[in-house]
């Protein structure tokens, strides 16, 4: 999908006034048969510039078309995803960098380069027409690499590109649409409905991610952030609750309960059950029946093995 276009020795850190910019990489981007890149985040800033063809990018909502002479900036920590268009494969450049204060006690004052570059975290997400000479500066970066290979010259041009972006206060183009999912509550509600569907005994979390049209990693990260639990852990809780109910109100076999509650194999169900409750399902049922003094005539809603 991407390959480096600058020699390794031209990467590294450069100090500009009160900022230290780390040039991570400059990549040539071409689809090479890839169709999409799922939602993800990263710790660096990233600027993608398209020279030919087109692609789509999004920041939690509907995708935007990005064509020749357009660019988009991904601030550090911003979630985004891409789709590639086989009928019009794009060719572009991806630049990645980080910024840190050269001196934390002095950074952020009047004329601060660090403050200007950190301000890109609040960049208005979207797709923008290049009215700022970015394409020309990027081409100059390539030319200097080929003709001189000078570390100072190439790094200076890279810094000029980054500072040009930082100087844009109101980019002209198409802002990213609002996210489709309007609230975290709706996101969690959909997950609960899906996990509690009694027809989904064989369901797994990757199929859940597909149903929500997100990657499994995105689903797992967001659910953990919102609930403090893993999606697999929550699914196990639901299955155990279903198994407890069946143990208490039926005389179905352990194997049948394991199957219906979603655990599948009886030995796996018994192991998980004992890890959580400290006793086997069989012992639990016996104790429950004795304590509840179950009335004679109770029947099973499941057939025993």
Reported as a single tens digit per residue, the pLDDT across 42-52 is: 899 999 999 99
For the chain, the residue count is: 305
- What's the mean pLDDT in 272-280? 91
Structure tokens at 167: 């100087």
Q: Do 7 and 19 form a contact (C-beta atoms < 8 A)?
A: no
> CA–CA separation, 149 vs 121, rounded Å?
31
Q: Which of 66, 161, 73 is nearest to 120 (CA)?
A: 73
State yes or no: pLDDT of 303 exceeds 60.
no
Q: Which residues contact 223 (CB under 8 A, 6 or more apart)?
A: 188, 191, 229, 230, 231, 234
> CA–CA separation, 178 vs 213, rounded Å?
16
Q: What is the pLDDT of residue 190?
A: 83
Reported as a single tens digit per residue, the pLDDT across 165-180 is: 999 988 989 998 765 4
- Pair type for strands 64-66 and 45-52: unpaired
Higher pLDDT among residues 205 and 268, named by residue: 268
Q: Report residue 199's pLDDT band, with 50, 70 and 90 as the boundaries.
A: low
State yes or no: pLDDT of 63 exceeds 80.
yes
Q: Report residue 105's pLDDT band, with 50, 70 and 90 as the boundaries.
A: low
Q: Which of 229, 234, 230, 239 is nearest to 268 (CA)?
A: 239
Q: What is the pLDDT of residue 292?
A: 64
Q: What is the pLDDT of residue 49?
A: 97
Reported as a single tens digit per residue, the pLDDT across 65-90 is: 999 999 999 999 888 888 888 778 89
State yes or no: pLDDT of 302 exceeds 80.
no
> CA–CA separation, 142 vs 28, rounded Å?
11
Q: What is the pLDDT of residue 269?
A: 93
Whole-prediction pTM: 0.59
* Apex 154 CA angle, 14 and 42, nearest 5: 60
What average pLDDT does the chain have?
Answer: 84
Q: Do 15 and 35 form a contact (C-beta atoms < 8 A)?
A: no
Q: What is the pLDDT of residue 101?
A: 92
Reported as a single tens digit per residue, the pLDDT across 204-242 is: 777 888 877 788 888 888 888 888 888 888 888 888 988
């Amino acid at each position: 999908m991407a390959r480096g276009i600058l020699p390794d020795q031209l990467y590294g850190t450069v100090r500009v006034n009160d900022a230290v910019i780390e040039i991570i990489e400059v990549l040539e981007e071409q689809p090479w048969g890839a169709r999409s890149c799922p939602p993800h985040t990263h710790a660096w800033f990233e600027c993608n510039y398209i020279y030919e063809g087109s692609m789509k990018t999004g920041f939690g909502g509907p995708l935007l078309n990005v064509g020749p002479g357009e660019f988009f900036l991904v601030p550090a920590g911003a979630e985004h995803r891409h789709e590639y268009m086989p009928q019009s494969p794009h060719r572009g450049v991806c630049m990645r960098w980080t910024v840190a204060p050269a001196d934390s006690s002095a950074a952020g004052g009047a004329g601060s380069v660090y403050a200007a570059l950190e301000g890109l975290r609040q960049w208005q997400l979207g797709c923008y027409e290049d009215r700022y000479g970015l394409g020309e500066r990027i081409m100059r970066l390539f030319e200097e690499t080929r003709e001189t290979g000078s570390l100072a010259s190439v790094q200076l041009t890279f810094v000029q590109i980054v500072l040009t972006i930082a100087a844009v206060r109101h980019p002209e183009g198409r802002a990213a649409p609002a996210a489709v999912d309007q609230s975290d509550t709706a996101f969690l509600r959909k997950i609960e409905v899906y996990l509690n569907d009694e027809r989904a005994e064989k369901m797994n979390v990757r199929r859940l991610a597909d149903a929500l049209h997100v990657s499994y990693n995105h689903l797992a990260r967001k659910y953990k952030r919102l609930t403090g639990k893993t999606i697999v852990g929550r699914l196990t809780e639901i299955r155990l609750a279903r198994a407890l109910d069946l143990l208490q109100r039926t005389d179905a076999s352990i194997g049948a309960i394991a199957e219906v509650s979603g655990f599948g194999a009886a030995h796996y169900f018994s192991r998980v059950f004992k890890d959580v409750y400290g006793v086997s399902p069989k012992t639990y049922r016996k104790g429950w029946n004795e304590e509840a003094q179950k009335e004679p005539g109770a029947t099973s809603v499941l057939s025993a093995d």
